[in-house]
Amino acid sequence: MKYKITRRDFLNGIAIGTGASLLAPAELFAQAGTTAPGESFDYYPPTLTGMRGNHPGSFEVSHALAWNGEKPAEYRKLDEHYDLVIVGAGVSGLATAWFYRKKMGPDAKILLLDNHDDFGGHAKRNEFHQDGRMLLGIGGSVNLESPGDYSEVARGLLDDLGIDLDAMKSNIDEFALLDSSADTALALLGPDGHVTVGGNWTQLMLGIGNYESAVRALPLPASEQDKLVELIGGDRDYLDDLSQSEKYAYVESVSYAQFLTERVGLAEETIPMFYPIPKLMGGPAASRYSVIEAFYLGCPGVQGMGWLGELAEQLLAGITDGYQSLYFPDGNASVARLLVHKLIPAVAPDAQGFSDIATSRFDYGALDRDDQAVRLRLNSTVVGVRETGNNRVTVDYVREGNAVSVTGNHCVLACYNGAIPYICPQLPESQKEALRYGVKVPLVMTNVLVENGHAFSKLGVSQVTCPDDPYVVVTVPPPTTTGGHQPPRGPDDPMVIYMLGVPSVEPTGKETSRELLTIARHKVYATTFDTYEQEIRDQLQGLLGEHGFNHETDIKAITVNRWPHGYAYEYMSLDDPDWAEGQAPHEIGRAQFGRISIANSDAEGRAYLDAAIDAGWRAVEEQTV
C-alpha cells in the first residue's frame, strides 16, 4: 500500500525482544542473552507505534508452554532472593506490591516480573508527539467507574496515590464514551456509504427525546423504521401472551437477538445497531446476552412489560441522571504510573505525582536496579512457580533468551487466570479446572494520530457508533487536563482518534459465549497489522471523507493495541449456572496455595479497576496473616 506510515510501525512493534519474537520455542530457550533494553534511557515503550497491547515478543514463550508443554530444561539460578515475587506488573501486581510494602515496611524486597515490554497490563499508555505537542491515547483499561462505590481498600489506594477525584471531575470537558448525557452519532452503511445521524442515542434508544425523527433518518426500509419506532417507544408488551413469572423467565433465558427477530420482527440486518455498547462489554459474546442483560446495557424492549416496565423506569431515571466515570488522559495507565512512581521514585525523581503524572517521562532504566527494595523486570515470561521447601517459592522465567530462576518467601500470581495452571502445575486439578473456565474478552483498541481535527470536528459530535464496521465506536481520548495534560486546543491542532474494535465472529447459534470468545481470540492473534491498518483507513475515510479527510496524507501514526486476552470474563445467564456463594469458578480458582496466592480481575469475576486492586489486597492479606 503506497500510503504506509513507515516500516517503523512494524519494526517498533517487535523491536523490544526482537530475537525472541522471531524464533521457534526451542531457539527461544537456547538463545544467548543480550543486553536488556531496559538499561537504556532511550527505552520508552509508550511512544512505540504499530502492533502493541499483546505485542510480538510478549506471548510466544507462554504459548509454547500452554500449547505444546515446552519450556526450558534447566535454569540458571540468580543470586536473588525476595520477600515477595509478583508475576505480572499490571494494576493487580502493582497494587499487590504497594499493599505488601505498606504492611511489611519500606525495606521489604519485592520483584515484579512481566512478559510485556511495558508495565501496567491492560492499563497501557499510548504517547504521540506532533508539531511540538504531546498527545495521549488509551491503550487498554479506560476509566475509574463509579469510584464512590469502590471498597474502602480501593478508595484507600487512590488516596495513597494522591488521586483527587473532585479535580478529575472538574478537569474534563464533555466526553461521550459511557456518558449518557452526551450527544453522539449513529453511522449505518447505506447504498452510498455511511449515513451519520446525530443525537443522544443513549437516551433515544430508550424513548427519551425525538427518537422517531432520528429513526426515520436511518438508511433502513420504512417497515423496519416502523418496528424500531414502536420498539423504542416502549408502549408495546412484546410478551403479552405470557404471565409475569413467564415473562421474567423469558427475559433471563432468551437472547436479545432472538427476542428482536422472533418477538419484535426485526430483520437480521437491523439488529447490529443495538450492539456497539454491549460488544464493548462482552465482545462477540454479546450475541449471547439475554434480554434483561441487554436492557441493563441500554437496549430497549421491556418498558411495556408490566413490573419489568417499572424496573425500566428506574433505569431510565438513572440514565438521565448519569453516573460518575472519571478519566486520566491515558486511561488507567496513569494509575499504574502513579503506583510505579510510589514504589520506585527513581523512575521520575522530579515528578510530583497526581498533578503531573500524565506528562512525566519515566526512566525505564531505573525500574530494575539492585540497590532498590522494589524491582520491576520487563520482558520476563514466567514459566514455572513452585514451593520448594525451606519456606521458599522458586520462580522460573525466560528473559532475552535466558532461562533463569529466583526465589521468594512468597509469590503472588497477578497474571491471567488461564496461564496459571501451566505456570503452577502443583495446584489441585479442581482448582486448575476452575482457573481455565473463564475466557477473557478479546478487544482491539486503536489510536490514530491525525494532522488536525478539522474533519472530525465537522461531525458535530465527539463519538460515533458504527455497528457495521470493524471498530464499533470511534471517538477521542478524554479531553482532560488531569495530570498536567493539555488536550488539543481546537481543530487546527493535531489530534488522536480513539477507535474501539471487536473481532467479528459469525455465530451459528450453537456456540456458548466462551466458545465465541475463544474463536475471537484466535482471530485477533491471526490478524496482521496490515489488515488492521487497512480497516482503520477504510473506516475513517468512509466517516470523514465528506468533511475533507484524506487518509493518505492526514494519518501520521497508528497504534493498534490488540488484547486477545482482554477483559475478565463475567458470567452470562444463558451459558453459566447460578453458582452458590463460594462455588463459582473464579472463587474456587483464587484459593490460596501455601505461599502462593492469586490476584487479578479474573479472580474477582469483574473487569474493573477496583476489582484488580481488591484482588491485590486479598492476596497480601493471605500471605501476611
Regarding whether 598 and 459 lie in a shared domain, the answer is yes
Q: Hey, what amino acid is at 338?
A: L
Residue 236 included in any domain? yes
Residue 542 included in any domain? yes
Q: Kindly report, residue by residue over 417-439, the tens digit of the pLDDT.
A: 999 999 999 999 999 999 999 99
Q: Report how far apart the first and last C-alpha atoms of the chain are (Å, whole number).
A: 60
Regarding whether 362 and 312 lie in a shared domain, the answer is no
Residue 588 included in any domain? yes
Q: Kindly report, residue by residue over 167-220, the tens digit of the pLDDT.
A: 999 988 766 565 666 778 999 998 888 999 999 898 899 898 999 999 999 999
Regarding whether 443 and 309 lie in a shared domain, the answer is no
Residue 112 is predicted with a pLDDT of 99
Regarding whether 285 and 163 lie in a shared domain, the answer is no
* Beta pairing, strands 555-567 & 374-377: unpaired
Stated length of the chain? 625
Q: 370 CB contacts (<8 Å, ≥6 apart)?
A: none
Residue 228 included in any domain? yes
Residue 624 included in any domain? yes
Number of separate domains in the chain: 2
Among 321, 347, 378, identify where a domain stops: 321
Residue 325 is predicted with a pLDDT of 86
Regarding whether 470 and 393 lie in a shared domain, the answer is yes
Residue 310 is predicted with a pLDDT of 77
Cα dihedral 113/371/349/45 (nearest 10): -30
Residue 281 included in any domain? yes
Give mean pLDDT, residues 31-58: 75
The H-or-E segment that residue 248 falls in is helix 244-253
Regarding whether 289 and 430 lie in a shared domain, the answer is no
Q: Kindly report, residue by residue over 176-187, the tens digit of the pLDDT.
A: 565 666 778 999
Largest CA distance in the chain: 75
Read off the CATH number of the domain in which 519 is found: 3.50.50.60
DSSP string covering 545-613: GGGT--HHHHEEEEEEEEEEEEEPP---TTTS--PPTT-SHHHHHT--BTTEEE-SSGGGT--SHHHHH
Among 282, 306, 321, identify where a domain stops: 321
Regarding whether 249 and 294 lie in a shared domain, the answer is yes
Residue 97 is predicted with a pLDDT of 99
CB 122 within 8 A of CB 566: yes
Residue 102's CB is within 10 A of a number of other CB atoms, namely 16
Q: Kindly report, residue by residue over 307-356, the tens digit of the pLDDT.
A: 777 776 776 666 555 557 899 999 999 999 999 999 999 999 999 999 99
Regarding whether 340 and 256 lie in a shared domain, the answer is no
- CA–CA gap between residue 373 and residue 453 (Å, rounded): 46
Residue 191 is predicted with a pLDDT of 87
Residue 26's CB is within 10 A of a number of other CB atoms, namely 11
Residue holding cell 496461564? 419
Regarding whether 373 and 240 lie in a shared domain, the answer is no
Regarding whether 222 and 99 lie in a shared domain, the answer is no
- CA–CA gap between residue 583 and residue 575 (Å, rounded): 16
Q: Rounded to 5 degrees, what are φ and ψ at 482?
A: -55, 140
Regarding whether 256 and 139 lie in a shared domain, the answer is no
pLDDT bin (cut points 50, 70, 90) of residue 301 is very high
Q: What residue numbers bound the domain in which 603 lies?
A: 1-179+328-625
Residue 192 included in any domain? no
Residue 188 included in any domain? no
Regarding whether 467 and 583 lie in a shared domain, the answer is yes
Residue 228 is predicted with a pLDDT of 98
Among 321, 350, 374, identify where a domain stops: 321
Residue holding cell 421474567? 248
- CA–CA gap between residue 299 and residue 265 (Å, rounded): 16
